[in-house]
Amino acid sequence: MKISFIIYRYVFKEMISPFVINLIFFTFVFLMVEMLKVVNMVVNYNVGVFTVLIMLAYFTPYFLTYIIPMSIMIAVLLTFLRLSGDNEIIALKTSGISIYELLPPVMLFCLLGCLLTLFMTIYAMPWGRLSFKKLTYKVVSSNLEIGFKERTFNDSFEDVVLYVNKIDPNAKELHDIFIEDKRTQNIISTVVAPKGKLFSEPDKYVYHLLLYNGVIYQVDVKNRSTNYINFETYEVRLDIKQEASRLEQGMKHRKEMSLVELWNYLSNSTRRDNEYYNTLMELHKKFSIPIACFALGLLAVPLGIQSGYTKKSFGLVLGMVFFLIYYLLLTAGLVFGETGACPPVIGMWFPNIVMGALGLYLLIKTANERQFRIGPIANLLKGIKSRLCRR
C-alpha cells in the first residue's frame, strides 16, 4: 500500500508541471490572437490599457474552457511518454505493477481538471461574457466609432443598417456611407453619401451622423412609389437607448445564463424551434466539455506509453492532433444539434464517447502488451512538417 501511494504521488506530481506550462502557453497564444484588437483600441480609439486588460480578463474563461481539457490531455501524454522513454514503465511492470494500477493518479488529475472546467462553464464563462458585454457597451457608448467596422454591415441599431467603407477614428470621419432606414412606417429610405461625421450625446445614448453631399432614395411600400432627394447636409439620429434598457433589465443571451436560468427557459418553452435546441445544447455543453477531461486523459495514457520512443515534441503535436479531432467532432455535434438534425444529447456527448471508447480500447491493448501502429501517424505528421518547411 505504501509503495502504491509513493508511485501514485510520483505520477501525479509528474503531471503538474507540464499541465501548468501548457495552460500558461496556450492561454498566452489565445490572448495573442486578440492583441491586434487590443492595440487597435488603445492606439486608434484612446481606450485605456487597464480597461482593455479587464476586457481580456472577462474573455479568458471562454478560452480556459477548452484550454484546460487540452492541457490535461497533453500533460498526461507527456508524463507517460517520459516514463516510457526512460523505461520506468518497464521497471514498474517488472515489479508487478500493471498499467491499470497507474490509472488512479491519472483519474484524480482528470477529476481536478474536470472540476476546474466545470467551474468555468457554469460560473466563470457566463459571468465573464455578461461582464464583457456590459463593459464593451459602456466603452462603445462613449466611443461609438469602436462599434463601427470598415466594410461591414452594422445592424446594431433597430431598423437601421449601416455600411461604412473607410473610417478615420482621429477625425471621427466616415467615408463612402450606405444606410438603410426602416424606422418610418411603410417607408424604406436608402441614404448614400461620400462623407460623414459622427457626434455623440453619451448621457442620452443618442448619436448623430452628419452626412454631406449625398442622395436619399425613398420607397413607399404602401403606395408603391419612389422618389429621391439630393442633399448637401443630412443628419441621421442613432438611438441605442433600447439596448441600454435591455442590459439594465438583466435580459441575457443563453451563453450568459446560469444553470437555473437555462433550465427555467427550457421548462417554460412551448416551441421546439432553433432557439430551444440552441439553449438545450448550451445546457449539455456545460457538462460535456468538463467530462472530456476524463475521455482525453484516458486516451493520453496508451498514446504516451506507445510513443515512448519518440521525441517530446511529437507527443505535444500528437496530443494537439487528437484534441483537434475532438474539437471537430464537438463542432459537428453543435451544428447538427442546434438545427435539430440529431438530438442535442447525442451531438454534445458523441465526441466524449468516441474519445473515451478509443482510449479504453488502446489502453486494453497496451496493458496486454500488444502494440498498435503509431508509426503511420508519425509519418503523416512528419510529411506535413516537411511540406510546411518547404513553403
Is 211 a residue whose pLDDT tops 60?
Answer: yes
Q: How high is the pLDDT of residue 34?
A: 76
Q: Give the per-residue pLDDT at 267.
A: 81
Eight-state DSSP code of residue 186: T
Which range in 42-46, 61-65, 115-119, 203-207 is most confidently predicted, on average pLDDT?
Answer: 115-119
Instruction: Please name every residue paired with 166 in a beta bridge, in sequence order, or none if there are none.
Output: 175
Query: How many residues would you count in the chain?
Result: 391
pLDDT single digits (tens) 80-95 = 988 888 888 888 888 8
Q: What is the pLDDT of residue 43?
A: 65
Q: Please give the share of the chain, as a percent, with pLDDT higher than 90.
A: 31
Examine the pLDDT at 347 and tell me if it is beyond 80.
Answer: yes
Residues 363-387 have pLDDT tens digits of: 998 888 776 655 555 555 555 555 5
Q: What is the pLDDT of residue 383?
A: 57
Is 76 strand, coil or helix? Answer: helix
Higher pLDDT, 24 or 281: 24
User: What confidence score (pLDDT) does residue 91 get?
Assistant: 86
- The predicted model gives 304-332 an average pLDDT of 80
Lowest mean pLDDT among 178-182, 193-197, 199-203, 372-376: 372-376
pLDDT at 190 over 90: yes
Q: Is the pLDDT of residue 20 over 90?
A: yes
Q: Is 300 exposed, middle or buried (0-12, 13-18, 19+ CB in 10 A)?
A: buried
Q: What is the pLDDT of residue 376?
A: 55
CB 194 within 8 A of CB 214: yes
CB 129, CB 255: distance < 8 Å: yes
pLDDT given at position 217: 92
Which carries the bigger pLDDT value, residue 78 or residue 136? 78
- At 90 the pLDDT is 84
What integer pLDDT is reported at residue 3 of this predicted model?
61
- 33-43 mean pLDDT: 70
- Residue 306: pLDDT band by 50, 70, 90 thresholds? confident
pLDDT score, position 124? 92
- Look over the chain and give the mean of its residue pLDDT values, rounded to a whole number: 82
Q: Is 266 in contact with 276 (CB distance < 8 Å)?
A: yes
The answer, yes or no, to whether residue 203 has pLDDT greater than 70, is no
Torsional sign, CA 382, 386, 389, 391: negative
List of residues 6+ apart from 177 with CB closer than 8 A:
162, 163, 164, 165, 191, 192, 193, 194, 195, 196, 209, 211, 214
Q: Which residue's entry shows cell 455578461?
A: 130
Q: Quick one: residue 87, left, alpha or beta (phi over 0 = left, psi -120 to 50 = alpha)?
A: left
Cell of 352: 466524449
Per-residue pLDDT tens for 167-184? 887 777 889 999 999 888
pLDDT (tens digit per residue) in 144-175: 555 567 788 877 677 888 899 988 877 778 89
Q: Name the band, by pLDDT with cuts 50, 70 and 90, for residue 65.
A: very high
Q: Which three cell numbers stand for residue 26?
A: 496556450
Phi first, then psi: what are they for 96, rounded to 5°? 95, 10
Domain residue limits, the chain: 2-140+264-385, 148-242
* 200 touches 144 (CB < 8 A): yes
pLDDT higher at 49 or 113: 113
> Which of the 8 DSSP states describes residue 70?
H
CB atoms within 10 A of CB 116: 18
Distance CA 276, CA 62 (A): 22
> Of residues 241 and 325, which shows the higher confidence score?
325
Between 246 and 321, the higher pLDDT residue: 321
pLDDT at 24 exceeding the cut of 60:
yes
Residue 113 and residue 297 in contact, taking contact as beta carbons nearer than 8 Å: yes
| Distance, CA of 106 to CA of 305 (rounded, Å) | 13
What crossing angle do the helices spanning 312-338 and 375-390 adopt, rounded to 10°? Answer: 90
Task: Using pLDDT thresholds of 50, 70 and 90, give the confidence band for residue 388.
Answer: very low
